[in-house]
Amino acid sequence: MEDTIFDKILRNEIPSEKVYEDDDVLAFKDINPKAPVHVLVIPKRKRQRFSEYRNVESDEAGIFMKKISSVAHSLGLDESGYRVIFNCGPHGGQEVEYIHAHILGGKKLIWSAG
């Protein structure tokens, strides 16, 4: 499996602005934020693409969803709302081949599906 920039962040080989970490996930600020709050959440158990999640145990996918929701809560976004995005593959605009959820918030977001 290709070593990505997110593998290196997870191994602390390159710096990141961490906002949350536990045994299951790491959340850190996007280096090129598209909104006032732009945080990426990755599972410590590596998957490359969202499309792989059809084959994983429900617990693995469910825990990841719960953690994404908890990170958004800890960022204070519950009341104002936010967007969660998984880009998947070339047509989805995925640049880093390590599954990650984008949490975007802090302003009223424009909806543009591409």
Active site residues: 100
- Contacting range for ligand AMP; rule: CB under 6 A; set: 52-60, 64-72, 91-99, 104-112: 91-99
User: Looking at 54, 95, 110, 114, which residue binds ligand AMP (CB under 6 A)?
Assistant: 95
Give the CA distances from residue 78 to residues 23, 28, 43, 92, 105, in Å, rounded to whole numbers and listed in that order.
23, 18, 21, 26, 10
Which of 5, 19, 61, 84 touches ligand AMP by CB under 6 A? Answer: 5
Q: What is the largest CA-CA distance in the chain?
A: 39
* 40 vs 77, beta carbon nearer ligand AMP: 40
Question: Out of 37, 43, 94, 104, which residue is the one contacting ligand AMP (CB under 6 A)?
Answer: 94
Could you give the strand order of the β-sheet that contains 25-29, starting from the edge strand earlier in sequence?
18-21, 25-29, 37-43, 101-105, 82-85
- First CA to last CA distance, the chain: 29
Q: Which residues bind ligand AMP (CB under 6 A)?
A: 5, 16, 30-32, 40, 87, 93-96
